[in-house]
Amino acid sequence: MAEGVREGWNRNKPLDLNVATRDQLMSLPGMSPAEADRVIAGRPYDDARDVVTRHILPKAEYDRISDQVTAKR
């Protein structure tokens, strides 16, 4: 049940990179545990694209998840 709730939440509402848990980040397509840890360590973000400009995620990885994430301050 938790998996279904997590998937539904990600589909309908962008995941905030500034507050998402490690498990929530890992629910994104292709996100590894190491990448989730780097995203958390790089907080805070002014914009979701900061994960690319700060070399936390490769652009190809960000492009896969860009419609599912946001960064609110």
Helix (H/G/I), strand (E/B), else coil: 70: strand
User: Domain span at residue 28?
Assistant: 2-70
- Dump pLDDT digits (tens) for 44-59: 999 999 999 999 999 9
**β-bridge partners, 69:** 15
Please check whether residue 35 is in contact with residue 61, taking contact to mean a CB–CB distance below 8 angstroms. yes
Total structural domains in the chain?
Answer: 1
pTM metric for this prediction:
0.82
**What was the pLDDT predicted at 50?**
98
- Torsion of the alpha carbons at 5, 7, 28 and 48, rounded to the nearest 10: -80
Q: Kindly report the average pLDDT of the chain as a whole number.
A: 89
